Structure 1
Amino acid sequence: MKAAKLSNNKRRQLVSLADQAKSRLQGKHYAAADQLCNQADKIYKDHPEIMNVRGLISLLKGDNTSALKWLSSAAEAAPKQIEIQANYAGCLILCGQEEQALEIYPKVVQELPRQGEVHLGYATALAAAGEYRLAIKVLEHGLSINPKHLRMYKKLADIYNDLGETENSIDLMEKARQLSPDNIDILFDTAIYLIGQGNIESGRNFLKQVIERNPQHINALSLLANSSKEGNDATLALIRQVYDQSEAGSQLHVTAAYTLGNAAESHGDYEQAFGLWQEANAQRRKTFTYEASSVKSMHDAIIAAFPASRFTPTPDAGISTSGTSPVFIVGTPRSGSTLLERALIHHHDLSSIGEIDVIEQAIVGRKRKVRDQQPLEMMLSSDNTLLREVGFEIQRRLQEEHRIAGRAVCKALNYYMYAGLIAVAMPGARIIHIKRNPLAACLSMFKEDFGSSQPYSYDLEEMGQRYQWYDAMIQHWRQALPEHVMLETSYESLVSDPEPELRRILAFCNLEWDPACLATHEAKGTVATASLIQVRQPIHKKSIARWKHYEEQLAPLMKFVKDQVT
């Protein structure tokens, strides 16, 4: 049935009602705006302008699902109304549908070139789909038009930091502070970037400025406490206040508990420390869904998909084994991978790519968002020819997105699951597996909030299970991979006698010795992991036996890893 044709008078009435409703939204009068929409529906049901307003109402109420429904319908009904298209694209980003947003934004940017939010949305979608340099270009152009748009400064700084180009991030934050000197988000981001670059004291000064403006800024308080070498009773008192006053299970309470646990450990109160970590982890675990059986199935499927017969025994086939082949660091979280990366990137022929998963993005392809298990599933369904194409895409990304001229050091959580792909896709690449006493590594994970990236890390038994599966996969790679592909080291060897161990690793990578590799604490490159503070210290052995203070509490974990404990 065809919709009734609108007279010009009714169309003007609808547009007027939509404009009135938008005006009500500016004052957060959502009920009044909704009443105007109801009034409009009596004139003409679900007019695009009214559906657009209903979508905006839902967005402002935090109901993204309803917003997407309304804005999708509005955009479909009015494909030429660019404001509606822009709102729809922005809503797609909020709903994690960046790929669809990328189909809309080029036209929106062309039609609305002076709207900063449009440039920000387009760049956000590009970055989510791995197109970092295009995102940078869009933001720089947007800032040339809107030089006071703080959110564009923040997004551009975030992208540069992710790429390991944090000097640019710090410069951008300086410009943003000139526009808004008291902006807490800008001050906090500045602190993060400075500390990541090794400028600890400068970063701490900015954290103190954040706390002066908001004494309950738990992330600033936590980082200030964890980065202190001396007493920080005043900071800990504020954290204790947040802990006591916040609701159990809230992010405030959980972060405070982790931090107070670290402080208790530093004072030798190990029982209190573990109790606080246990409380924080139990509360975090409730917020995540973790399907252990599917994780186990994925590990088994990867082992089955990469038998020894799948690999070329010598590095002659596929991508060149020249000086451009990457070095991949694999291991569990908190195994010493960041320390090893810091050592290697001090070599004059090696560079870090930052904290971006280059493998996963190369698998899913250009302008595609990496989603959950999708890269692993795509890997399992690919033959060697397709995997070699992934290898070429990895090299392209290293050169064009990360601008690595020589050899890259690539490190990300769960890279051990891609060792078979690396060996097939890039036969000239080298894999360094760094292991650590599982009780030490798992305890270190238990002390950190990994968000949703490692949902098993909040429960000792689930962590023990996951470690078993990881260890089984590493044992498979030992037997299946050609001997030139993977070398193993350990955190304990690296910190106990670093020079001979680093010489051995560099020789395996066909690199000469560089004494600068011993200066892991000196500022070079960006650190954006849970090791933010620790790796800015000279190599030391303090953490090797720390787990022994918690032998009794770690019993649920021990039953899974006892055969690997050293």
Structure 2
Amino acid sequence: MNRKQRRLSAKSGHGSGERQLDEMARQAAALYQVGRLQECETVCRQILSADPGHADANLLVGVLMLTARRFNEALAFLNTSLSRNRKNPMAHANLGLALAETGRVIEARESLQTSLRLQPKYPEALSNLASLEARLGHPARAVELHARAVELQPQNRALRTSYGGSLLRDGQLDKAIEVFTALRAEDPADSKANYGLGLAYRDRGDLPEAEARLREASAHGAVHADSALALAWMVDDVSAAERDAIHAAEAASPENSHERMILDFTLSKIEHDKGDYEDAARYLRSGNALRRRELDYDRDRVEADFEETMSVFDREFFDKRQDFGTSDETPVFVLGMPRSGTSLVEQILASHPDVYGAGELVTLREIGGMTGSAGRQATPPQFAAALSKGASETLGRNYVRSVRELDKTSRFIVDKMPGNFMLIGLIRMILPNARIIHCTRDPRETCLSMYRTYFSGDGLAFAYDLDDLVHYYGLYARLMEHWTSLFGDVIIEANHEKLLKDPEGEIRAILASCDLEFAPECLEFHKTRRDVRTASAAQVRRPLYDSSRRGWRKYAEYLPELAGLDKYA
């Protein structure tokens, strides 16, 4: 409404009506602040019945829809609010959250950045942008943004907790422990602080302390779902009292909630440990279905990505680029399907005195334009095809320079990002002398293990539906056949079942393939003290056992879709 319209409406009595709606909006905001959310929504709906475009009412309902995880509805209300008032930083910040939750992460980043341009010292927007940067694979950037948010509000426990989480994801475990310890000192019953400490100690390898903190997270009241899940994967048997509490919490949780999903994954692990595979499978189906609802997955688009990769990176492509890249031999890429043994192989290699294990690095994915960080429109194969010889050398050197910041002296540095199997073509272009270790495992074991695992990021959306999982595995198998046909003489295979059957023989073979002398420490990899920040953080602290073989047979009756993987076994 422009100035002239406002004058006219005031003359006709509408101005007072508008003021009344604005006063109602202030009342609704006050109700929201004290947690009276249903009353807040009722007042807002009354406002919108009189003025459907009211900016503040639409903003509040959008925030309420976000809280209720009704993200598409949140988008509609927030966009309506912004159509009336483009200068509201809170509306842009909440729109960013809604966009992120619906998978539109680049648009989400733009909305949050707009919010901060309008209000640079907006702690919540800084924190939300930090969380988004972490999701996009930029943990260091997330730490920087969270630190700025905490600097603005140093007493804000929610911001400090988020900051601790960013430090944890960035591998700054000492600082993360410091942040969470301070929060716990102020409030020993803080479940999120205890949970953060539990994860930090787990990643550090201090499993007894991790277990104690995770148990404490649920000791002062309601079950803390995330802590219960982490604990269930750390120990082989929870107590009867803990099990009963988790069952009760799952039954009491809202039917389609995120909490119900986490607790279903938790109970699937608990029932698995009891040997009740039918119930474990039932909870798996429920938890995975709920998780799948949270994520977008376009099977056709993913298949097109695989097809394009195989089409572009053919023998002719590499025949024309035989002298591309840098000759540096520092990187060792450990890759394969998630849950195929990549963490184990990295831990074995990192136990060697000449090797540094860097974990799952996003460096190569950023170079290949896969994280959205550079705003590239080209797909990774198109990006690679456009590289000149000089550019390939520069990218290779930049990669080595980046990983050398993590370790200055080791002969080899391991990058254990499983999904780098998509980027073997780029690796061969820019780092032709890098070692590539392909981890393999019985496909039924691999896919069952993925289906049993809750991954906190959203990059593995295919893992939560068995049909999607079987389809994706087929694409992966075809792509690896393609790479093997091109580079079979340089891709080193590390097979999980062979490692279980003959650990010393296989470890010696892997080391020899990397031109490394045998080191006895590699046989006792579980004793190596290093930070591990993956779903396998607890498993790599244990010696090799044969118990993980043929586990899929226990689920064959209850998850018959796994039979679709027989042809790849």
Deviates more, 1:66-75 or 1:384-393: 384-393
- Secondary structure of 2:546's counterpart equals coil
Which residue in 2 is equivalent to 1:207? 214
Which residue in 1 is equivalent to 2:156? 149
Q: 1:419 to 1:206 in 2, by over 3 A?
A: same
Distance 2:421 2:303 in 1: 14
**Does residue 4 of the first structure (1) align with residue 4 of the second (2)?**
yes
User: Match for 2:345 among 337, 340, 344?
Assistant: 340
- Contact 2:556/2:562 (<8 A) preserved: no
- Secondary structure of 1:385's counterpart equals coil
Distance 1:86 1:559 in 2: 48
Aligned runs of 1:219-368 on 2, under 5 Å?
219-229=226-236, 232-246=239-253, 250-278=257-285, 280-281=287-288, 290-311=297-318, 317-323=324-330, 326-364=331-369, 368=373
User: Match for 2:203 among 196, 211, 214?
Assistant: 196
**Does residue 516 of the first structure (1) align with residue 491 of the second (2)?**
no
Paired letter, 2:4: A
Q: 1:266 to 1:134 in 2, by over 3 A?
A: closer
Aligned runs of 1:165-180 on 2, under 5 Å?
165-180=172-187
**Does residue 26 of the first structure (1) align with residue 30 of the second (2)?**
yes
Deviates more, 1:387-396 or 1:162-171: 387-396
- Contact 1:313/1:482 (<8 A) preserved: no
User: Match for 1:64 among 47, 64, 74?
Assistant: 74
- Secondary structure of 1:213's counterpart equals coil
- Contact 2:312/2:385 (<8 A) preserved: no
Distance 2:164 2:396 in 1: 24
TM-score between both structures, scaled by the size of structure 2: 0.80
Which residue in 1 is equivalent to 2:381? 379
Q: 1:19 to 1:121 in 2, by over 3 A?
A: farther
- Contact 1:195/1:532 (<8 A) preserved: yes
- Contact 1:506/1:512 (<8 A) preserved: yes
Paired letter, 1:520: F
Distance 1:27 1:561 in 2: 58
- Contact 1:284/1:458 (<8 A) preserved: yes
Distance 1:268 1:297 in 2: 40
Q: 1:73 to 1:188 in 2, by over 3 A?
A: same
Q: 1:149 to 1:399 in 2, by over 3 A?
A: farther
User: Match for 2:480 among 453, 474, 488?
Assistant: 474
User: Match for 1:488 among 478, 485, 493?
Assistant: 493
- Secondary structure of 1:360's counterpart equals helix
User: Match for 1:99 among 102, 109, 117?
Assistant: 109
- Secondary structure of 1:321's counterpart equals coil
Give the C-alpha shift of residue 496 in structure 1: 3.0
Q: 1:556 to 1:171 in 2, by over 3 A?
A: same
Deviates more, 1:170-179 or 1:260-269: 260-269
Give the C-alpha shift of residue 423 in structure 1: 1.2
Q: 1:284 to 1:482 in 2, by over 3 A?
A: closer
Give the C-alpha shift of residue 195 in structure 1: 1.6
Residue deviations 1:302-355 (CA, integer Å, cap 9, x gap):
2121112322699863124143xx222221121111111222233344444444
Paired letter, 2:387: T
Distance 1:199 1:182 in 2: 21
Q: 1:208 to 1:103 in 2, by over 3 A?
A: closer
Distance 1:92 1:387 in 2: 39
Which residue in 2 is equivalent to 1:81? none
Which residue in 1 is equivalent to 2:407? 405
Q: 1:314 to 1:327 in 2, by over 3 A?
A: farther
Deviates more, 1:428-437 or 1:213-222: 213-222
Distance 2:258 2:149 in 1: 34
Unaligned 5+ segments in structure 2 are 33-39, 67-72, 101-106
Deviates more, 1:277-286 or 1:492-501: 277-286
**Does residue 88 of the first structure (1) align with residue 88 of the second (2)?**
no
Q: 1:246 to 1:175 in 2, by over 3 A?
A: closer
Paired letter, 2:78: L
- Contact 2:365/2:371 (<8 A) preserved: no
Distance 2:134 2:552 in 1: 39
Q: 1:218 to 1:434 in 2, by over 3 A?
A: same
Distance 1:127 1:548 in 2: 37
Q: 1:121 to 1:22 in 2, by over 3 A?
A: farther
Residue deviations 1:85-109 (CA, integer Å, cap 9, x gap):
3542453244232431465366446
- Secondary structure of 1:25's counterpart equals helix
CA RMSD of aligned residues (A): 4.1
Q: 1:160 to 1:286 in 2, by over 3 A?
A: closer
Distance 2:48 2:257 in 1: 36
Residue deviations 1:469-491 (CA, integer Å, cap 9, x gap):
2222111111112733x211201
User: Match for 2:548 among 532, 543, 548?
Assistant: 543
TM-score between both structures, scaled by the size of structure 1: 0.80
Q: 1:253 to 1:149 in 2, by over 3 A?
A: closer
Distance 2:56 2:394 in 1: 44
Number of aligned positions between the proteins: 542
- Contact 1:99/1:129 (<8 A) preserved: no
